[in-house]
Chains A and B, each alone.
Chain A
Amino acid sequence: MAAELDLDRLQRWMHAVIVHPGSPQQAVASDTAQREVPLSQLGAVILPSATLTPTERLAIYQGMYPLRMEEALAADYPALQHFLGEDAFLELVKQYVAVHPSRSFSLNPLGESLPEFLRTLPGLRRREFCHELATLELAVAQVFDAPETTPLGEPEVASIAPEQWERARLTPIAGFRVLAFRYPVNAYLQSVRDDRHDHPRPRLGREWVVVYRRDYKVFRQPLTGPAHDLLKDLAAGLPLGQAVAAALQRGRRAPEEREISGWFQTWMQERMFAAVATS
């Protein structure tokens, strides 16, 4: 039996055991594992050592798998881990990687589906808060890893004639996300990073944030609602004149022109845009 077990089958079996979320005994006895190697044949595949049975030896790999996944996800989601607590976060990791295992040579994209996963996870406390907190942390991670793009320089801005700005379309840098939340997740993330104990409560409270990278550092800048709407329109490629006109017509939340001018100046100074097109 052992000598005839081909490499592909051996790997499918061992993989099934390693990624099984239950005990080592449950893992080797699982249907997926036994499709490749019946439990009765375990000793014909893995040798015991002087101190460990075959199952105990496999358990070393099986035990390390969720911890490795947890370490990778905790690096991207420290505030979510803090909110849930370490035990609950590890349980979440086990459930998540069972549905979304790594399919990349890099661990960087492992957590890409976590915010959406949280939306539908049964039994999760404060689901919406967790979803939004994870959405913000994913944005931070993605901005950190985004390709480096040269920001718009002063000469390029100066080369745009005043009458051309009306039709100008701005392209944000790759490391840029503009986000709106129903819960104070940016304040929560900051309180975790500051190692404070007075975390904001996960109660409704709107926040608007732009996440961007400048000089290889990731920044999170709170926005007002109208500033968020305008920045989002600009990032979506709306001509400047059209985006500003839309901002000025947003009823109760309409900003004044000098406010818009101030925002725009800040966004340019923070080098959030990579290109401007006037045609």
Chain B
Amino acid sequence: MANRFKLPDLGIGIGLRTVHFGEILGRAPAVDWFEVLSENFMRTGGRPMWVLDQVAERYPVALHGVSLGIGNTDPIDRDYLRELAALARRTRARWVSDHLCWTGVMGRNTHDLLPMPYTEAALRHVVARVKQVSDALERPLVLENPSSYVEFAASSMTEWEFLARLAEDADCGLLLDVNNVYVSSFNHGFDARVYIDAIPADRVVQYHLAGHTHKGTHIIDTHSDHARPEVWELYRRAYARTGATATLYEWDEDIPELAVVIAEAEKARAFQLECVAGHGG
């Protein structure tokens, strides 16, 4: 099943990270596509921008942000949106994604991805803002499910119900981070398979895979390791539902050599082939 936005399956990609700049430009590794952290290339005019221009010439690119603050109660930052749209044009980004979260209040940014209460009021609030952002970017916004460490007593629906209704009401795409599903399922004690099965498959534009850190009492979404087998199993389950969908491996802490990140991302190919052969799900 292709996503309803007809956004392409870009194959298997990795995040563009500073430590790999030299190697990526030097030997043009076999990677299907790169995801770019939007804010790292905004308000900077030096080497990072020059590198990004080279990468965007050679590879398909998608933008992934952390500062949109779609759930914030402050007004949407129009300057940010203008700069984001300009970056998307410059890199010919296939899509622009961010997170279902809030990031700060009263003009202050914590630079964290903070969880929303899953209430009717919060849903109305986010739907209205997604529509504004999609209009400003002149393309459907793609939102990622967050990993989280707290649950609000006020929530009247599950996260997957909230996401499904948000996607429908705001007509936005979804970036399904299966590691985040796993992390939150442990932290909040729900069945990750139920979550995966409830996501509207035709809205999933992209997958994220990553490693995490188990602290015993909770799991932190650190992006600092190989993905756990349980996460790969969730990916297999989800991919069997969505079919060919762009997949990306994130590695943000203790980043190893480029070849290690690529090899970890390439593991996804075997799961995809299994699904195509009809063994998944």
Contacts and interface: CB of A to CB of B under 8 A. Distances in A.
Contacts of B117: 7, 10
Interface stretch (B3-11, B146-154, B166-174, B201-209): B146-154
B112 A49 contact: no
Contact of A106 (B43, B105, B121, B187): B43
Residue from the set B150, B189, B217 with the largest chain A CB neighbour count within 10 Å: B150
A28 to B, nearest CB: 12
A221 B62 CA distance: 39
Contact of B152 (A46, A147, A175): A46
B108 interface: yes
A174 interface: yes
Nearest to B65: A105
A51 B80 contact: no
A40 interface: no
B67 A105 contact: yes
B45 A6 contact: no
Interface in A140-157: 143-148
Contact of A15 (B104, B150, B189): B104
B109 interface: yes
Interface string B103-129: 011111111101001010110010000
A46 B153 contact: yes
Nearest to B113: A61
A50 B153 contact: no
Interface stretch (A84-92, A96-104, A114-122, A240-248): A96-104
Contacts of A108: 43-44
Interface string B86-106: 000000000000000010111
Contact of A216 (B46, B108, B122, B220): B46
A172 to B, nearest CB: 15
Q: How large is the interface on A (under 10, 10 to 19, 20 to 34, 35 or more residues)?
A: 35 or more
Interface stretch (A52-60, A130-138, A186-194, A253-261): A52-60
Interface string A205-218: 00000000100111
Contact of A11 (B49, B67, B105, B218): B105
Nearest to B83: A105
Interface string B139-176: 00000000001111110100000000000000000000
A5 to B, nearest CB: 6
Contact of B122 (A7, A43, A45): A7
A216 B25 CA distance: 15
A3 B120 CA distance: 11
A18 interface: yes
Nearest to B117: A10
A38 to B, nearest CB: 15
B46 A148 contact: yes
Given A11-B105, A105-B77, A105-B80, A45 B112 contact: no
B109 A103 contact: yes
A181 interface: no
A54 B47 contact: no
B224 to A, nearest CB: 13
A248 to B, nearest CB: 36
Nearest to B108: A101
B45 A11 contact: no
Interface in B170-221: 187-189, 216-218, 220
A127 interface: no
Instruction: Please name the 7 residue pairs, one residue from A and one from B, whose CB atoms are nearest each other, closest first.
Output: A147-B45, A105-B67, A216-B47, A51-B217, A8-B73, A2-B153, A60-B149
18 contacts: A2-B153, A3-B154, A3-B156, A12-B105, A12-B106, A15-B108, A43-B153, A44-B153, A45-B153, A50-B189, A51-B217, A57-B151, A61-B149, A103-B107, A105-B67, A106-B67, A175-B46, A216-B47
Given A47-B151, A103-B107, A108-B44, 11 more contacts: A46-B150, A58-B150, A101-B109, A103-B109, A104-B109, A106-B67, A147-B45, A148-B49, A175-B46, A213-B46, A218-B46
